[in-house]
Chains A and B, each alone.
Chain A
Amino acid sequence: EAQVTQNPRYLITVTGKKLTVTCSQNMNHEYMSWYRQDPGLGLRQIYYSMNVEVTDKGDVPEGYKVSRKEKRNFPLILESPSPNQTSLYFCASSSQPGETQYFGPGTRLLVL
């Protein structure tokens, strides 16, 4: 089954404790992206990747890092999480930029 998976689905952490949210897709997509969803703001892009070793900032990249060492994986790293990063995070992938993006199930993060 074609899908985007994320782990963990739920995470509670404390300020400053580094964490990683994994994202994996099995559709051989070149393009992958991370969004955060906040009430009243819709989804905003954090980072994206055009292909392996090619990543770039989206609209709200501060406090986040990403890497793309393999085509299928695109982890999101919070080096020093802060409470304003409490949000719902979605990973997405598409065959090419601009094509239909397929979303993962989301990771709900609470930073205390």
Chain B
Amino acid sequence: AQSVSQHNHHVILSEAASLELGCNYSYGGTVNLFWYVQYPGQHLQLLLKYFSGDPLVKGIKGFEAEFIKSKFSFNLRKPSVQWSDTAEYFCAVNARYNQGGKLIFGQGTELSVKP
């Protein structure tokens, strides 16, 4: 069965620290990849996505992610976090041509940024 694994359950950083959140998926075919963010009390918002092309994608608020096909990974990065980045981050995968268009989500990573 397809699955998505996020390595860190809870990450605590100080402002200006660099961030990298790991995401690995298990599916051998072509995939669409997403990172969503959920700020406290709010709904999920798209940070960035990868469908094809340049494996290094840039999203909103200075986030970027790199798709490494050989490692089945799609790690999220930000060079310098801010207090306002405190949120929960979800990696999600859609297996292209998957019947149902289902997004498979990782368990989520809670990021706490200390001012």
Contact = CB atoms under 8 A, between A and B. Distances in A.
Interface size of B as a range: 20 to 34
A98 B108 contact: no
A98 B98 contact: yes
B34 A100 contact: yes
A103 B92 CA distance: 13
A64 B32 CA distance: 28
A94 B105 contact: no
B44 interface: yes
Contact of B106 (A42, A99, A100, A101): A42
A33 B101 contact: yes
Contacts of B42: 105
B64 to A, nearest CB: 17
Contacts of A73: none
B46 interface: yes
A59 B104 CA distance: 10
Interface in A64-112: 90, 92, 94, 96-106
A33 B100 CA distance: 9
Interface in B39-85: 42-46, 49
A45 B102 contact: yes
Interface of B: 4, 9, 32, 34, 36, 42-46, 49, 90, 92, 94, 96, 98, 100-103, 105-108
